[in-house]
Amino acid sequence: MDKKIGFIGCGNMGKAILGGIINSGKIALDNIFVSTRSKESKLKIEDEFKVKASLDNNEVTAFSDILFLAVKPNMFKDVLNEIKDSINKDTLVVSIAAGVTVKDIEDILGTDKKIVRTMPNTPALVGEAMSAVCFNKNLNDKEREDIFSIFNMFGKYEILEEKYFHGFIALCGSSPAYVFMFIEAMADAAVKLGIPRNKAYKMAEQSILGSAKLALETGKHPGELKDMVCSPGGTTIEAVIELENSGFRSSVIKALEKCAEKSENM
């Protein structure tokens, strides 16, 4: 793709997307430009990713055909006001800020600008993100396809109405943290059972990866796949019953509801 990609802000999520795009090999490094808040972070970005970086948000904005706004929500409006006069009318402005709506962005940049609201997650860094994407009315079909091409570089995406983004944040945006907690818990149990910790982590991680891939590639209902593992009177059903007795499902559901509630109130 021969597009110039800019990033304003490059925290954990911005780095994950940037790294995923670079790892795809589909964008030339000369076509990527990042702005950071400090000289120290600028040097780190240049050293780690081998791309151009600047302390000037407007310089990156003017450079970009597709501009990722990867700053914290509490800084978002200040950054928009800073760069609004540098945005070209054809620039695709991509926001990854939780709690910032398309209308919020249009209120500052103008209703004529091309706005994309999205919520990726950190597996972007290894090309396995799950992202939600929605658009304002100003993007044409080719521009939407360009966005899809970018998001395919670091994972999968779904077009989702903006009103469902709070649920998506709970389900996908925050879920890597839940999965990492699950990996830790599985590994702790394995260590208790005598398995060395370094082996326990690797085995837990591969088991989760393989299970997710099995569900994705077979298309079978998760309940059906669970039943395939649970032999009558066997070991797995004992673990499943204990998880049910401990409120495993209800805990997950309540956690996602709390996450979505927080997103709504931001």
What tokens does 178 get? 């839940």
> In this structure, what DSSP letter does residue 55 have?
S
Question: Is 73 marked within a binding site?
Answer: yes
Question: Which residues are CB-neighbours of 57 under 8 A, at least 6 positions away?
Answer: 8, 35, 79, 82, 83, 86
Taking each helix axis from N to C terminus, what angle separates 102-109 and 73-83, rounded to the nearest 10 degrees? 30
* Cβ contact 245:216 at 8 Å: no
Q: Is 8 annotated as a binding residue?
A: yes
Residue 12 annotated as part of some ligand binding site: yes
The DSSP bridge pattern shows strands 129-135 and 114-119 to be antiparallel
Secondary structure of residue 4 in the 3-state scheme: coil
10 is in an annotated binding site: yes
| Residue among 53, 179, 66, 173 at smallest CA distance from 124 | 173
Residue 169 annotated in ligand binding? no
Q: Is 9 assigned a ligand-binding role in the annotation? A: yes
Has 31 been labeled as part of a binding site?
A: no
Tokens 């079978």 belong to 220
Q: Among residues 206, 201, 196, 199, which one has the least CA distance to residue 183?
A: 201
**CB-based contacts of 197, cutoff 8 Å, min separation 6:** 187, 190, 191
Two tokens, residue 137: 């009315």
CB under 8 Å to 136, separation ≥6 — which residues? 102, 106, 111, 113, 114, 115, 116
11 is in an annotated binding site: yes
Alpha carbons 42 and 39: distance in angstroms, whole number: 5
Q: How far apart are CA 220 and CA 242, in angstroms?
A: 24
Q: Is 36 annotated as a binding residue?
A: yes
C-alpha–C-alpha distance, residues 211 and 222, integer Å? 10
Residue 198 is assigned to a ligand binding site: no
Binding-site positions read 8-13, 36, 57, 70-73
Binding-site positions for NADP(+) read 8-13, 36, 70-73
Binding-site positions for NADPH read 57
